[in-house]
Amino acid sequence: MTNQKPTHETALAFHALHIPGRPLVLPNAWDTVSARLVEEAGAAAVATTSAGLAWDLGTADGDRLDRDRALGALARVAAAVRVPVSADIESGYAKDAAGVGDTIRAVLAAGAVGVNIEDALDDGEGVGDGGRGPLRPVAEQAERIAAARAAADAAGVPLFINARIDTVLSGAGGVEETLERAAAFLAAGADGIFVPGAVDPGTVKSLVAGVEGPLNVLVGPGAPSVAELAALGVARISTGSSIAQAAHAVVRRAARELLSAGTYDSLTGGLDYAELNTLLGGAR
């Protein structure tokens, strides 16, 4: 157990991983075992996926999960790994800016040194990454980011605030609207900008050129490779909920095969029992 209390040095080390052209690559985790597997694979940091975490706790994604349960899960992830941890906290698990500040204090207590904060208003129906509701007004979202910055600064931890902008994902705007939001959020205290849905090389290149900070993109099947995105100047690459979705697909395939055909081919290629037991049972 190592990340129980984030330090100034750990937070700065996480900042330093965001290098345009040499991006931080984050296979997002959602629980203790996925975090340990990501770390064991060689990741320089572990980032949570809010969707995967919510599903693991039996809740739909999209501002449906309460703060205490989310941050309890985050604390378990942070305690399980040695590398820095960044938390996807949806829109801050709070209705107003003051509440976002409270969430940040709890995030730091849980052991994380980074957060994603999104600017979409969810309708409470768990829409998730497949599409969002309307975006918060720029001034309102900037106030929430400023509250997060102030809470982290007061704690003496240079928390990496990754401002998620859902213009592209929700169809609410293109490059120009995204850059306007990015400038406002960076001025409010964000350290990086995350634009899910932006994988077209031309769009990514324009965002890299226009954003005055590290750019994070979301990848999955069909997206450009890490090398291609690095060549465009991307500083951070994450998978979001896609690894969790793939893992859950194996569960469904295996269950359906067993219950219908009575066979077990879907279980081929599973991790070795002893390997997993050793990974989770070793002292940290």
pLDDT digits (tens, 9 = 90+) for 112-124: 999 999 999 865 4
Give how far Cα 9 sits from Cα of 79, 150, 255, Å. 17, 19, 46
User: Which amino acid is residue 50, in one-letter code?
Assistant: S
How does pLDDT run across 1-28, given as a tens digit for each residue? 455 677 899 999 999 999 999 999 999 9
Over the Cα atoms of the chain, what is R_g? Answer: 19
| pLDDT tens string 215-235 | 999 999 999 999 999 999 999
* Rounded Cα gap, residues 273 and 237, in angstroms: 30
pLDDT digits (tens, 9 = 90+) for 27-81: 999 999 999 999 999 999 999 999 999 999 999 999 999 999 999 999 999 999 9
Which positions ≥6 away from 157 have C-beta within 8 Å? Answer: 6, 7, 8, 11, 108, 113
Phi, psi for residue 74 in degrees, rounded to 5:
-60, -45
Q: If you search the block for the tokens 């951070």, which residue do you land on?
A: 236
Q: What is the pLDDT of residues 100-112, one digit of tens each?
A: 999 999 999 999 9
- Total length of the chain: 284
Q: What is the 3-state secondary structure (H, E, C) of the chain?
A: CCCCCCCHHHHHHHHHCCECCECEEECCECCHHHHHHHHHCCCCCEEECHHHHHHHCCCCCCCCCCHHHHHHHHHHHHHHCCCCEEEECCCCCCCCHHHHHHHHHHHHHHCCCEEEEECECCCCCCCHHHCCCCECCHHHHHHHHHHHHHHHHHHCCCCEEEEECCHHHHCCCCHHHHHHHHHHHHHHCCCEEECCCCCCHHHHHHHHHHCCCCEEEECCCCCCCHHHHHHCCCCEEECCCHHHHHHHHHHHHHHHHHHHCCCCHHHCCCCCHHHHHHHHHCCC
How high is the pLDDT of residue 128?
40
pTM of the model: 0.94
